């Protein structure tokens, strides 16, 4: 067994070696050997969300562990890539390093750092557009990852379209469109198939994401906050019901709705 496995003075090399050992077809872990890019991808997404969750809770010891788990995902994918002859950890690390240098000429090149945030953002987008052109991605929407969370991808698609002028000039038109799409959902509920209803719901959600973009609100963060608020208030309902010797299933909508209003009042009084 390699001493590198236990050498804490070389953390990155140690982790790469551990992953290689886990994937060794003769002596590795049977579960790890069976995995491929597709089977590991869901874990990668999950770990990224757990990193975001730890940050939102400002739990720094937890964040340290979650960042390690996310780093392991990168090492896992690069090990599989190396086995297949696609890439290695070194090529991945060098690739992103080259990208950061190229995208920051005001830090690593001759350009001035005396730029506004807006100008730096514009320059960043120009560089990214040039990179896409080098990959034969000439379409406006090329390169927006399909696997992104749906709300996040909707905003990215809308931003790309807005760059070439395909955008409403103000929130008034977006609000009008929301009313229109909501009306179509009502019509679909009463007259259309389940598939058509799903399409109309999707259209409404897409326009809601557009409204958030126009108002400079991150819809993913907004919905995450709404989920947290709902969880907090519903847990308060459960706590009050427990004080009454009841569970939610033993209550009814009228009682729980009143307790919801009580939870809201209690939050405002804090």
What's the pLDDT tens digit per position in 41-55? 999 999 998 998 899
pLDDT at 139: 85
Q: What are 236-260's pLDDT values in tens digits?
A: 999 999 999 999 999 999 999 999 9
Mean pLDDT, the chain, rounded, equals 91
pLDDT at 3: 86
The residue length of the chain stands at: 270
Contact 257, 237 (CB under 8 A): no
Residue 115: band (very low, low, confident or very high) from pLDDT cuts 50, 70, 90: confident
Q: CA 46 to CA 264: how far, in whole Å?
A: 31
93 versus 121: the higher-pLDDT residue is 93
In the chain, pLDDT over 90 holds for what percent of residues? 71
Residues 6 or more apart whose Cβ sits within 8 Å of residue 83:
23
257-265 contacts: CB < 8 A, separation 24 or more?
260/233, 260/234, 262/236, 263/232, 263/233, 263/236, 263/237, 264/233
Q: State both tokens at 77.
A: 């994918």
Q: State both tokens at 120.
A: 């730096």
pLDDT at 190: 86
pTM given for the model = 0.63
């Amino acid at each position: 067994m390699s001493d590198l496995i236990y050498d804490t003075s070389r953390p990155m090399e140690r982790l790469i070696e551990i992953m290689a050992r886990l994937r060794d077809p003769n002596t590795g872990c049977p579960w790890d050997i069976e995995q491929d890019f597709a089977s590991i991808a869901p874990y990668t997404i999950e770990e990224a969300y757990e990193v975001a969750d730890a940050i939102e809770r400002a739990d720094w010891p937890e964040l340290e562990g979650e960042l390690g788990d996310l780093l392991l995902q990168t090492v896992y994918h690069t090990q599989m890539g190396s086995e297949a002859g696609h890439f290695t950890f070194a090529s991945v690390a060098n690739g992103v390093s080259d990208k950061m240098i190229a995208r920051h000429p005001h830090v690593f090149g001759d350009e001035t750092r005396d730029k506004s945030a807006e100008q730096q953002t514009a320059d960043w987008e120009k560089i990214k557009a040039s990179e896409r052109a080098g990959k034969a991605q000439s379409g406006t929407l090329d390169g927006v990852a399909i696997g992104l969370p749906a709300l996040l991808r909707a905003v990215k698609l809308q931003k790309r379209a807005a760059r070439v002028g395909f955008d409403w000039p103000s929130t008034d038109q977006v609000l009008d469109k929301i009313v229109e799409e909501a009306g179509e959902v009502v019509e679909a509920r009463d007259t259309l198939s389940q598939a058509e209803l799903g399409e109309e719901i999707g259209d409404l959600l897409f326009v809601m994401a557009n409204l958030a973009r126009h108002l400079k609100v991150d819809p993913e963060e907004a919905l995450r906050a709404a989920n947290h608020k709902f969880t907090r208030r519903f847990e308060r309902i459960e706590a009050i019901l427990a004080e009454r010797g009841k569970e939610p299933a033993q209550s009814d909508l009228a009682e729980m709705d009143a307790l919801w209003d009580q939870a809201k009042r209690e939050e405002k009084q804090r």
